[in-house]
Amino acid sequence: GQQVMQIPQYQHVQEGEDFTTYCNSSTTLSNIQWYKQRPGGHPVFLIQLVKSGEVKKQKRLTFQFGEAKKNSSLHITATQTTDVGTYFCAGPKTGGSYIPTFGRGTSLIVHP
Amino acid sequence: KAGVTQTPRYLIKTRGQQVTLSCSPISGHRSVSWYQQTPGQGLQFLFEYFSETQRNKGNFPGRFSGRQFSNSRSEMNVSTLELGDSALYLCASRGGPEAFFGQGTRLTVV
């Protein structure tokens, strides 16, 4: 079945440094979603990408969907302590379902 | 608009017992999904209910079951609890592609 792999598992950065997490799928995805989970919290939807090569920005966050629609990335510029949390990518289950299948996430630790 | 509500927030159960968790979705959302979150396995999909019917199912044993009521509220049941069932159980409701998660129920099996 479709699997979504995410790297790295953990990332420590100094406040102000950039951060990138990568998501790779074994199959072509119709779309990819990104979620953020703060420590002790629940996942919160950030964005959905649908088109091949799509790039979307939310303030300091830049999301990309690969040309082949098999990979995606999330880049944070000049991290802040408020960026701390685990970032998950999620692709839909096979069979056209909307149900997101999550990667294991990248935990971002920002050191002040 | 009220968010997704899960009850209880915390539970401690003994091995062999059963447990029922509840989820009230966002008003108007008919899809409710359940996930198990553990540090080692991440977010694992359990099942999805839509209009009282199970529409999708993950790879979990039959001890894990669920149902959905006519008001879209959903319950999840785990029978014969094992230590490995200790996890955060998250419910998500959807009216479209975006999933809205509840705060989760932290289940500890001792």
- Across all residues in chain B, what is the average pLDDT? 94
pLDDT at B21: 98
Residue B106 pLDDT greater than 80, yes or no:
yes
- Is residue A34 within 8 Å of A61, Cβ to Cβ? no
Q: How far is A107 from chain B (nearest CA, A)?
A: 11
Name the stretches of chain A with pLDDT < 70: 1-2, 94-98
Interface touch B43/A102, C-beta < 8 Å: yes
All residues of chain B having their beta carbon less than 8 Å from the beta carbon of residue A101 are 45
Residue B96 pLDDT greater than 90, yes or no:
no
pLDDT at B65: 97
pLDDT at A94: 63
All residues of chain A having their beta carbon less than 8 Å from the beta carbon of residue B90 are 42-43
All residues of chain B having their beta carbon less than 8 Å from the beta carbon of residue A93 are 45, 56
Q: How far is A16 from chain B (nearest CA, A)?
A: 28
pLDDT at A111: 96
Per mean pLDDT, which range of A41-50, B3-12, B78-87, B90-99 is the poorest? B90-99
pLDDT at A90: 93
pLDDT at B27: 94
- Residue B67 burial by Cβ neighbours in a 10 Å radius (0-12, 13-18, 19+): middle
Segment B75-85 shows an average pLDDT of 97
Q: Residues of B4-32 as b/e, b for ≥16 C-beta within 10 angstroms?
A: bebeeeebebeeeeebebebbbbeebebb
* pLDDT classification of B17: cutoffs 50, 70, 90: very high
| B41 vs A37, more confident | A37
Chain B residue whose CA is closest to A89: B43
Q: pLDDT digit string (tens) for B43-61?
A: 999 999 999 999 889 999 9
pLDDT at A2: 53
* pLDDT classification of B1: cutoffs 50, 70, 90: low
Strands A106-111 and A10-14 come out as parallel
State the Cα–Cα distance between residues B90 and B47, nearest whole angstrom: 11
